[in-house]
Structure formats: structure tokens, C-alpha cells
Structure 1
Amino acid sequence: MGAYMLREEANHWWKNARQRIRAGGVVITWEIFKREFWVKYFPADVRNRKVVEFLELKQGNMTVAEYAAKFESLSVFSPYYNTAEAEYGKCVKFESGLRPEVKHLIGFSEIR
């Protein structure tokens, strides 16, 4: 019974969210769905902590692959970086978190 009620609530939420998004003439992509889902089902304080964690993220002792994975997983919490217009800024943010010796090896132009 509880699972059914949760499923119904989620279906009702998505039906309303989908209507609202489509009314704005937006094509619903996986990224848009994820953003809507995060807003609905993650408390604001958790999202805010994740945004701060993303903004303060540095490579530190992580490999580049580990840093990139962490960067991508946290970037979903920062709506600004999840638009096509922000792609350049997202690259700059990624580069700024790399260790200096890694930045020197790859050069800035290769990521952007």
C-alpha cells in the first residue's frame, strides 16, 4: 500500500511538472527531468551543501578521472552550470580545480 501511494504521488508530480515545462515550449530532456527531480525530492539544505561542495571542489589527491567524475556528479546540483550557455564557464570551473602541474600539462585550450 505504501509503495503504491508513493508511486501515485510521483506520477502525479511528474504529470504536473511535465505540463508546466511543456507549456513553456521546452523539450524535456533527461537533464531537465533530473533537475526537476532534484528540486522536488532533495531537501533545499542538502542541495545547498552540494552546491557549496561543487563550488569548492579541487582535484587535490584525486586522479583526473576521479576529479572529473566527482565534478560531474556534483555539477547537477548547480543549475547555472547545467545549461548550454554555461558550457564555457563549466570548463573554466573544471580547469580551475585542477592541480597546477596538471593544468600545465594539458594546457587550457584543450578542455575548452
Structure 2
Amino acid sequence: EGAVNWLEEVEIIFEAMGCSEENKVTLGTYVLREEANHWWKNARQRLGAGGAVITWERFKREFLIKYFPADV
């Protein structure tokens, strides 16, 4: 539940700021802390392999798989 709440709060900030899709991953991941920040450093290398662009939708999917598994 914490992961879903975090995403909702970040998206409210994005909307208030008029954040572009291109900047969402950069700004959203900037506020990650502790273990989530370590997870992102590894996930970014894996997801961005070969120069692949990591969209906000892709980030959210991976983040929720990690921090809000469907079987909880």
C-alpha cells in the first residue's frame, strides 16, 4: 500500500508542476530513498540496457512488481 500511495503522491506533484512525460522518471526517482534507491540503480541498468528509454509507465510497472506484488 505504501508503494501505491507514494506513486499517487508523486503523480499529484507531476500534475501540479505540469511535468512532461520525459521528465517524470528523472524527477520521480530523485525522491526515492534508501532501499528503493538501491533497487532503482540496479533496475535502471537492467531496463535501460542498449540505450532503451525507460518511460514512467515502465518505471511504475517495475516499481509495483517490486514493492506491491499482486499476491499480497
Q: TM-score, normalised by structure 1?
A: 0.33
Greater relative contact order (Cα < 8 A, sep 6+): 2
